[in-house]
């Protein structure tokens, strides 16, 4: 699930930023994005679900620069290789089931797709003795990052605007002095 914050009036702002020299424009945007990302990251770590392994420890911020369009994008999330369960925390899982030993993969796929227990009699007999065929539960979606963005939206925009203004003034002063 992708969640994002968009700036109202951004077209005019970024049109003016593009009028600046390329390096200056990307530098100004990058510093403002980093500040906004820091706000989101701090809140995400503070509200991360407890008991989710390495998820909280692997939360990171990243800045992606697109030089062709003079755009800078901020990304906050966990590094996938260290916390691959981030997707399940955000989106949840379906109901999962165990199957009797020897059940073919095709029958398992059919059961998962239709929601029906395959080999009902065999599965229920084995379930009584070995607990196969029983539900292994589901993990409800927590939408952690979407909540973080919703909660920090105003602060992120304020910090972004404040930092952007400071950086533009600083770069303009540099250009005047040069």
Predicted confidence at residue 37, as pLDDT, reads 93
What domain count does the chain have?
A: 2
The mean per-residue pLDDT over the stretch 102-123 comes to 59
- Whole-angstrom Cα Rg for the chain: 24
Predicted confidence at residue 155, as pLDDT, reads 92
The token duo for 116 is 């029906």
Cβ–Cβ contacts within 10 Å for residue 146, how many? 15
The verdict on 125 and 170 lying in the same domain is no
Is pLDDT at 42 greater than 90 in this prediction? Answer: yes
Cβ–Cβ contacts within 10 Å for residue 50, how many? 7
* E strand or H helix that includes residue 82: none
The verdict on 69 and 151 lying in the same domain is yes
Q: What is the mean pLDDT of the chain?
A: 75
Q: Which residue range is the domain that position 133 belongs to? A: 96-137
């Amino acid at each position: 699930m992708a969640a994002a914050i968009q700036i109202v009036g951004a077209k005019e702002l970024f049109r003016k930023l593009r009028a600046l020299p390329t390096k200056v424009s990307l530098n100004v945007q990058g510093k403002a994005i980093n500040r906004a990302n820091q706000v989101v990251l701090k809140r995400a770590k503070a509200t991360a679900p407890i008991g989710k392994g390495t998820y909280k420890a692997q939360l990171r911020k990243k800045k992606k620069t697109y030089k062709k369009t003079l755009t800078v994008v901020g990304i906050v999330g966990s590094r996938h290789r260290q916390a691959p369960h981030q997707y399940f925390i955000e989106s949840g899982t379906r109901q999962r089931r165990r199957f009797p030993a020897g059940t073919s993969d095709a029958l398992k796929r059919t059961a998962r797709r239709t929601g029906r227990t395959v080999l009902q009699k065999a599965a229920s007999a084995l379930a009584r003795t070995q607990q196969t065929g029983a539900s292994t539960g589901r993990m409800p979606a927590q939408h952690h990052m979407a909540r973080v963005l919703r909660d920090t939206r105003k602060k992120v925009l304020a910090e972004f605007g404040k930092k952007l203004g400071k950086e533009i003034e600083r770069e303009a002063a540099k250009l005047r002095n040069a």
